[in-house]
């Protein structure tokens, strides 16, 4: 009588018919997850609830945004340094030469500067305001409200460190080279502080650019004037006069406004970041619960050696002994 292959009984003495302990049966782990599906679903729901509660505790973020663009000059410069030949290299080494009044990259570099942030804090005396909203305990301890000044025990922080702090903590900017604009935004949990800091940023950025561009333009004009006295060639004099006109125009362009505000400051609440909390918490507990049940199944189904059993006993002993301690 022939035996059907599917009804063949494994022979313990035949190693080929025994299960290989190194093989992984995925169905075992899938079954373990399905068997505990209610507990996994409950933990996932708990994560969603905890994430929602965390989002409420965290509260909204107040955002003040503005869109700014470089101020374009109405006319193009007729003379370039290349037109001056060998003299152009000498002039270029002495001038802070810029084709326009201010560029998008220049505005971006200024906003990234710690020095700009430090001077902003110093000019508008923002240090008490920053401490009041960022470190309220230190503010109450060291700020003398009756005299409106810091107490003698207060140690002033490093200006550049504070400048870098507000750049990374509150400022967020997006440079769009295609549209030639920068979206500048100030973010904090306090609406009043957000409005104050955003307004001061816009105001001081305009003043900073005006001062920088006008100072460089006046220095360039003074140097070109000195060169004009030494040059006898009428063609070179004409080209130097073109550069002079360019620097004077550059100074005049920023005298009224340093940049264009294409979209003025607008303050609003932002819950977008907080909406991720329930998803992160829920997915985190779902992943951890699945991992835990897979680990338990792997430990229960795997064949253990005497050494494995001794190690498991030692682990249990240390865990329970640690709890008692």
Q: Give pLDDT tens digits for 126-171.
A: 999 999 999 999 999 999 988 899 999 999 999 999 999 999 999 9
Q: Using DSSP, state whether 247 is helix, strand or coil.
A: helix
Angle 219-220-222 (CA atoms, 0-180°, nearest 5)? Answer: 65
- Which among 107, 91, 113, 82 is positioned nearest to 231, based on CA atoms? 91
- My answer on whether 156 and 230 are in the same domain is yes
- My answer on whether 227 and 264 are in the same domain is yes
Alpha carbons 247 and 213: distance in angstroms, whole number = 10
Alpha carbons 60 and 312: distance in angstroms, whole number = 48
- My answer on whether 168 and 315 are in the same domain is no
Q: Using DSSP, state whether 198 is helix, strand or coil.
A: helix
- Which among 186, 199, 203, 182 is positioned nearest to 64, based on CA atoms? 186
Alpha carbons 107 and 206: distance in angstroms, whole number = 10
Last residue of a domain, one of 270, 298, 316: 270
Question: In this model, does residue 96 exceed pLDDT 60?
Answer: no
- My answer on whether 112 and 255 are in the same domain is yes
Contacts for 258 with CB less than 8 Å, ≥ 6 apart: 71, 101, 102, 205, 206, 207, 208, 209, 210, 213
Per-residue pLDDT of 31-73, as tens digits, reads 778 888 888 888 889 888 888 887 777 777 889 999 999 876 5
Last residue of a domain, one of 254, 270, 286: 270
Alpha carbons 213 and 226: distance in angstroms, whole number = 20
Alpha carbons 248 and 75: distance in angstroms, whole number = 12
Lookup: tokens for 48: 């969603």
- My answer on whether 188 and 287 are in the same domain is no
- My answer on whether 210 and 292 are in the same domain is no
pTM of the model: 0.61
Per-residue pLDDT of 231-256, as tens digits, reads 777 777 787 787 778 777 777 766 77
For residue 224, give the CATH number of its domain.
3.30.1890
- Long-range contacts of 129-132, Cβ-Cβ distance < 8 Å, separation of 24 or more: 129/193, 129/196, 129/197, 130/162, 130/166, 132/193
- My answer on whether 295 and 264 are in the same domain is no
pLDDT at 162: 95
Alpha carbons 232 and 234: distance in angstroms, whole number = 6
- My answer on whether 193 and 71 are in the same domain is yes
Maximum distance among all Cα pairs of the chain, rounded to whole angstroms: 122
Q: Which residues sit opposite 267 in a β-bridge?
A: 64
Percent of the chain with pLDDT over 90: 29
- My answer on whether 11 and 35 are in the same domain is yes
Alpha carbons 230 and 224: distance in angstroms, whole number = 10
Per-residue pLDDT of 161-208, as tens digits, reads 999 999 999 999 999 989 899 999 999 888 899 999 999 999 999 999
192 is in which domain, residue-wise? 61-270
Summary mean pLDDT of the chain? 78
Yes or no: say if 64 and 186 are a contact pair by the CB < 8 Å rule.
yes
How many domains does the structure of the chain reveal?
A: 2
Lookup: tokens for 93: 């080494």
- My answer on whether 11 and 122 are in the same domain is no
- My answer on whether 22 and 131 are in the same domain is no
Helices (H), the chain: 26-35, 37-58, 86-94, 104-112, 114-124, 127-134, 136-142, 159-169, 191-230, 234-256, 276-301, 306-324
Last residue of a domain, one of 270, 287, 303: 270
224: alpha, beta or left? (left if phi > 0; alpha if psi -120 to 50): alpha
- My answer on whether 158 and 91 are in the same domain is yes
pLDDT at 282: 84
pLDDT at 325: 53
pLDDT at 247: 76
């Amino acid at each position: 009588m022939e035996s059907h292959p599917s009804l063949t009984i494994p022979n313990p003495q035949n190693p080929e018919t025994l299960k290989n302990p190194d093989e992984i049966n995925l169905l075992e782990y899938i079954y373990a997850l399905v068997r505990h599906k209610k507990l996994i679903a409950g933990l996932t729901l708990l994560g969603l609830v905890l994430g929602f509660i965390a989002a409420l505790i965290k509260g909204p973020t107040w955002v003040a945004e503005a869109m700014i663009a470089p101020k374009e000059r109405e006319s193009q410069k007729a003379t370039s340094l290349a037109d001056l030949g060998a003299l152009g290299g000498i002039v270029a080494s002495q001038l802070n030469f810029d084709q326009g009044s201010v560029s998008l990259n220049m505005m971006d570099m200024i906003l990234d500067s710690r020095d700009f942030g430090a001077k902003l804090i110093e000019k508008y005396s923002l240090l008490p305001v920053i401490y009041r909203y960022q470190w309220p305990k230190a503010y109450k301890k060291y700020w003398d409200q009756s005299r409106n000044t810091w107490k003698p025990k207060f140690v002033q922080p490093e200006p550049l460190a504070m400048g870098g702090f507000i750049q990374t903590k509150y400022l967020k900017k997006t440079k769009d080279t295609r549209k030639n604009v920068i979206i500048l935004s100030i973010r904090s949990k306090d609406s009043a502080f957000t409005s104050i800091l955003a307004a001061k940023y816009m105001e001081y950025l305009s003043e900073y650019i005006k001062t920088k561009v006008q100072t460089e333009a006046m220095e360039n004009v003074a140097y070109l004037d000195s060169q004009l006295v030494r040059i006898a060639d009428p063609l070179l004099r004409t080209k130097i006069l073109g550069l002079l006109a360019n620097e004077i125009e550059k100074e005049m362009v920023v005298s009224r406004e340093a940049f264009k505000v294409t979209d003025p400051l607008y303050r609003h609440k932002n819950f977008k970041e907080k909406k991720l909390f329930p998803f992160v918490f829920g997915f985190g507990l779902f992943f951890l619960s699945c991992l835990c049940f897979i680990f338990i199944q792997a430990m229960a189904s795997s064949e253990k050696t005497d050494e494995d059993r001794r190690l498991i006993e030692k682990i249990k002993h240390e865990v329970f002994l640690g709890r008692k301690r």
